Amino acid sequence: MLNSEIDEAMAAHSNALSGIWRLIRRVQRDDALVESEREEALRRLFSCLSFKDVRQTFVMDAIRLDMGVSFRSSMSGMMRLKSRMRRNGYNIAPGSNDKTRDLAFGSKLGLAVPTVMQENVAAESVHVSENVFIKPSEGSNSRGVFYVDDAKAVHSIRSKEVYSSFEEALSELDGKFLKQNWTVEEAIVGPGEGLPAI
């Protein structure tokens, strides 16, 4: 029973992937599309592919239009690459990222970086205000990262739970994280729906 379900799911995935590849080729060759329509269609199609799914025949479009693949896929690929490099003696971008250095790096690249309201403070010293992120001062994933909305509700990025206070939100963390220092920074929101960029 399980084997047939696996075979069926794999076949469905393969068919869906083939369908996306066909649509990419069709969009590339469709002379009726204006360039902005072509770019938007290609962006949508590329967004659901992983790196391994980007075929050689369309890699140049991905580079020319600066299109990525899904964030989760790119993170997964990067983690595997970093693991292989560590086994060979190279330790690039270690997991315990120093957020202060990350902000300085982003600023040098000309990216919009958030204003830091508090840095390296104990949990009991965190000042909660609207439209901020509260995050561990060191770390490389969503664990312990909270978004405070304009009504001061505290949203856990990792668990998707919503808490009425930062103290309540800390209940989802273990002792090691509770001893961690915290950083509070403004939430940079995107255009349109004004959702925070995380």
Q: What is the pLDDT of residues 44-103, one digit of tens each?
A: 888 777 767 777 676 677 666 655 555 555 666 677 777 888 888 877 666 555 666 777
| Model pLDDT, residue 197 | 56
Q: Is 180 helix (H, G, I), strand (E, B) or coil?
A: coil
Q: Is 189 helix (H, G, I), strand (E, B) or coil?
A: strand
Please report the pLDDT score of residue 173 as a whole number: 84
Whether residue 146 has pLDDT greater than 90: yes
Q: Which residue type is seen at 174?
A: D
- pLDDT recorded at residue 8: 92
pTM of structure: 0.51
Sheet with 154-156, side-by-side order of all strands: 116-121, 182-186, 132-136, 146-148, 154-156, 162-163
User: For 170, what's the count of Cα atoms within 13 Å in the CB-facing half-sphere?
Assistant: 17
Q: Is the pLDDT at 192 greater than 60, yes or no? A: no
Length of the chain: 198
More confident residue, 171 or 51: 171
**Given pLDDT bands bounded at 50, 70 and 90, which one contains residue 19?**
very high
Residue 138 has pLDDT above 70, yes or no: yes
Residue 108, pLDDT score: 82
Q: Is the dihedral of CA 146, 148, 149, 154 positive or negative?
A: positive
Q: Residue 121: what pLDDT? A: 92
Residue 106 has a pLDDT of 74
Mean local confidence (pLDDT), 147-170: 91
Q: What percentage of the chain has pLDDT greater than the value 90?
A: 25
Q: Which of the residue ranges 11-25, 71-85, 170-184 has the most confident prediction, judged by mean pLDDT? A: 11-25
Average the pLDDT over 17-24 and give the result: 90
Q: What is the largest CA-CA distance in the chain?
A: 61
